[in-house]
Structure 1
Amino acid sequence: MILAVMQPTYIPWLGYFDLINSADQFLFLDDVKLEKSDWHVRNKIKGNQGEIMLSQVVSTPNGRMGSVICDTEFKEKHPWRKKHLKSIEMNYRKAPFFNSIFGVIQQYFLNECNNLADFNIGLTQVFLKSLEIQTSVNRSSKLPKIAGVKDERLANFCDFFKSDKYLSPRGASAYIERHSPGGLLAKSGVEVFYQQFEHPKYYQCYPPFVSHLGVVDALMNLGADQTKQLIESGHKQPLHYSELYTSN
């Protein structure tokens, strides 16, 4: 069984959904430190002037270093949701699939969820449903206490889910491979693979094409069915950890 693990993201990009779609079990890693300047709380859409960053507004009474994703709340009474909806509406109202996609997003945004992890995980699951990606998902904060840090904890997650394969974003190789090939995952008998996703081009309302936007952009321009096909077209055979060394 293939396990993949990632921190929850606000309006994830296409590669995030490729990672989920490539796994049998996906785990939202939501009991780790919040990075306010990271994709935990922000992502990009596109307007006629180019990229637009949408940032959620959270409260960190204990400071950024003392904040954990699953315990983080939005700043009370801040109108960021209405602002984001307005920005999405203004920039995509001429998109081919605006009418079918915007209503779904609007309905979700107007719920009263005030927890960052709950909101972003729930929003991602709305997108998963639209894309008909049926991978089983869980949250690390809802599991029994799983000890360890970095690759040690990943190995323990694999043991918990009885996973013999671990699929990782390529960027995580820096800490997985830091001491030995495949890290503690490989030492525990888990085969480690790295995601290979090549971002495809697609129709956007306003040229030139910009990649690595939040999935909303593709959904608005292509619709759910074609966005799913787009994600599948960018999927490439994952790289076995041993190939990191034979290819150098």
Structure 2
Amino acid sequence: MKIAIMQPTFNPWIGYFDLINYVDKFVFLDNVQLVKRSWQVRNKLKIDNKEYMFSIPIKKTNSRDKTILKDAEISYENFDFRNKLKNLLLRNYKKAKYFEELENRVFDIISFQTNSLSLYNINFIREISSLLGYEDKFICSSSLKDIQGLKSDLILSICKKLSCLEYISPIGSKVYLDENIESFACEDIDVFYQDYSHKTYSQIGDEFIPYLGILDVLFNEGINKTKEIIIGGRNFIKEYK
């Protein structure tokens, strides 16, 4: 049993979908604190031939610094971000090779109605995964009973709950996981880090911009080629401590 544990982010990059494709179970870590200006609320598009960060507006609360991700609410008070996003995509990607083919399906996904940031992102990820032909292997951490701890202790608790033998982690989490790596070894759980190698692909505009959200590669390369591109950068490093 291989699992990955990630917060449900908005319009994730291709490495995120490589994790989904690779593991047996993918856990949405939705019972942790929402971080301001994080990938949970924003991600990159190519707008006017430049990298552009598109954000989902979040309702302000008196205790926003303590808001749990699954409790964060989208704000529609000033504008509907979904309409803004669709207009941006239409203006900047309409000449992309596969835009017309995917426009209706993607716009249906974007139009998903909910006040919950977490549910919006989860629906986006599940629907894009379905578009790519990936099986539904998703679990929300908030649905798991008797998990506890912070950071690496929480990750270990989830791994034990799901009886996993291999935990696959983004390499950015190595710093804090290494501090507790012996605990994983004691539970006979091997830890692997995703060291993803981002490949270039056909992209509208003058210069290639890497690390954009999944919508960029889908509109430019289509479903089948996107699947090849996603696994083309795959690389995992085992932690030997």
TM-score by length of 1: 0.92
Residue 39 of structure 2 corresponds to 39
1:106 counterpart SS class: helix
Residue 62 of structure 1 corresponds to 62
Residue 102 of structure 2 corresponds to 101
After TM superposition, give the deviation of residue 187 of structure 1 in Å. 2.6
Cα distance change, pair 111–22 in 1 and its aligned pair in 2 (3 A) = closer
Residue 127 of structure 1 corresponds to 128
The CA deviation string for residues 171-224 of structure 1, in whole angstroms up to 9 with x for no partner, is: 101101125xx2422232211111121000000011210000000000000011
Runs of 4+ in 1 over 3 A off after TM superposition: none
Paired residue type of 2:195: Q
Unaligned runs of 5+ in 1: none
After TM superposition, give the deviation of residue 240 of structure 1 in Å. 0.8
Question: Are residue 51 (structure 1) and residue 51 (structure 2) matched?
Answer: yes
Are the aligned partners of 1:3 and 1:25 in contact in 2 as well (CA < 8 Å)?
A: yes
Work out the CA distance in 2 between the residues paired with 1:19 and 1:8: 13
Work out the CA distance in 2 between the residues paired with 1:221 and 1:37: 27
The CA deviation string for residues 93-142 of structure 1, in whole angstroms up to 9 with x for no partner, is: 00011112221121122232110000000001111011112251111112
Work out the CA distance in 1 between the residues paired with 2:136 and 2:2: 10
1:46 counterpart SS class: strand
Are the aligned partners of 1:26 and 1:135 in contact in 2 as well (CA < 8 Å)?
A: no
Among all aligned residue pairs of Structure 1 and Structure 2, give the percentage whose two residues are the same amino acid: 33
Q: 2:239 aligns with which of 232, 238, 241?
A: 241
CA RMSD of aligned residues (A): 1.4
The CA deviation string for residues 38-62 of structure 1, in whole angstroms up to 9 with x for no partner, is: 1010001113331111100011313
Paired residue type of 1:190: I
Q: How many residues align?
A: 240
Work out the CA distance in 1 between the residues paired with 2:110 and 2:194: 30
Question: Are residue 193 (structure 1) and residue 192 (structure 2) matched?
Answer: yes
Work out the CA distance in 2 between the residues paired with 1:49 and 1:207: 7
Paired residue type of 1:96: K
Unaligned runs of 5+ in 2: none
1:194 counterpart SS class: strand
1:203 counterpart SS class: coil
Residue 115 of structure 1 corresponds to 116
Are the aligned partners of 1:60 and 1:67 in contact in 2 as well (CA < 8 Å)?
A: no
